[in-house]
Amino acid sequence: MDCLEIKDLTVAIQGQRILDGLSLVVPKGEVHAIMGPNGSGKSTLAKVLAGHEDYEVLSGQVLMDGQDLLQMEVDQRSRAGFFLAFQYPYEIPGVSNANFLREAVRARLGSGEDLDAVAFYKRLYGLMDELGIDRKFTARSVNEGFSGGEKKRNEILQMAILEPFYAVLDETDSGLDIDALRVVAEGVNRMRSPHRGFLLITHYQRLLNYIEPDFIHVLAGGKIVRTGGKELALELEETGYDWIKEGALATA
């Protein structure tokens, strides 16, 4: 029960099939990585799990701790404990980071409950310090004028505040220099817990030097074509993804 279970998921966008019978189980307490060449459907998986409207689920099921995730609204999924760190986080002009985070936290309170503002800020500032985010960022508009690295750190901050049960990180390492990458990785590592499952989506092995996964899956042609331990990443780093294409062609 305590897992994010993707069963035989087939998804299309504008009539084109992107995921084709993908199955994957991420139990709580584990970190899984999905690697794969460009266009293999990695980001599609992330968006579908979050509930983006552009994608059409043709068949399959996703269960989050037994709940039918695909039947839930985007915001319901979030409140139930699903988090997506965006590859390209959006800007929200005029809405301060603090305000946005507060609204997100408040959305999780029961009726009649109210946010303890003092405790909230204490926690927020603590997490910002850990992530090396200047406290002045609380007053800045969400992601507006942020550098690539700042945006990604902000995603991790949001994740840390919201404490999801399952977090999908979509190419969080892209566009990061090595220092920023380290900070982001530390942020994720601190959140590793028996009560939380992670799915890292990445093109490069680099991120996995800092966040050590329990399992690595290779996505190609819309399905998982290979699963292994962390050593698989090193192998991919050496051999690249060409073998998959050949292999996929061979089995086709």
Partner 1 sequence: MSEESATLDAVLIDQSQGNFAYPEDYELDAGRGLGPSTLDYISEVKGEDQWIRDFRHRALEVFERKPMPTHWASRELDEIKFQDIRYYLAKGKRPTRSWDEVPDDVKKTFERLGIPERERGFLAGVEAQFDSEAAYSNIKEEFDKQGVIFVNSSEGLREHPEIFRRWFGKVIPTGDNKFSALNSAVFSGGSFIYVPPGVKVKHPLQAYFRINAEQFGQFERTLIIVDEGAEVMYMEGCTAPKFETATLHSAVVELVAMPHAKIQYITVQNWSSNVFNLVTKRGLAHEGAEIRWIDCNIGSRLTMKYPGVIMKGRKARGEVISIALANTGQHQDTGAKMIHAADETTSNIVSKSISMGEGRATYRGQVHIPKHLKGCRNNTECDALLINSRSRTDTYPAITVRGNRHATQHEASVSQVSEEQIFYMRQRGLTEAAAMSLSVNGFVNDLVREFPMEYSVELKRLIDLEMEGSVG
List residues binding partner 1 (CB under 8 A). Answer: 50-53, 73-75, 77-79, 83-84, 86, 89-96, 98-100, 102-104, 106-108, 114-115, 117, 141, 158, 162
Token pair in block for residue 66: 């037994």
- 85: phi then psi, degrees, rounded to nearest 5: -85, 115
Q: How many CB atoms lie within 10 A of CB 53?
A: 7
Please report how many Cα atoms fall inside a 13 Å half-sphere around the Cα of residue 129, on the Cβ side: 6
Decide whether 88 or 212 has the Cβ nearer to partner 1.
88
Q: At what angle do helices 148-162 and 97-106 cross, to 10 degrees?
A: 30
- Whole-Å CA distances, 56 to 70, 142, 237: 11, 29, 33
Token pair in block for residue 59: 């068949």
Decide whether 169 or 216 has the Cβ nearer to partner 1.
169
Query: In whole angstroms, how close is the CB of 93 to partner 1 at the nearest point?
Result: 6
Query: In whole angstroms, how close is the CB of 113 to partner 1 at the nearest point?
Result: 11
Query: In whole angstroms, how close is the CB of 105 to partner 1 at the nearest point?
Result: 8
Decide whether 75 or 246 has the Cβ nearer to partner 1.
75
Query: In whole angstroms, how close is the CB of 135 to partner 1 at the nearest point?
Result: 15
Query: In whole angstroms, how close is the CB of 133 to partner 1 at the nearest point?
Result: 17
Q: Residue 181 burial by CB count (10 A; 0-12/13-18/19+): exposed, middle or buried?
A: buried
Decide whether 104 or 191 has the Cβ nearer to partner 1.
104
Query: In whole angstroms, how close is the CB of 92 to partner 1 at the nearest point?
Result: 6
Rounded CA separation 216/45 (Å): 15
Rounded CA separation 48/69 (Å): 10
Decide whether 152 or 223 has the Cβ nearer to partner 1.
152
Q: Residue 183 burial by CB count (10 A; 0-12/13-18/19+): exposed, middle or buried?
A: buried
Decide whether 38 or 111 has the Cβ nearer to partner 1.
111
Question: What number of H helices and E strands is found in the chain?
Answer: 9, 12
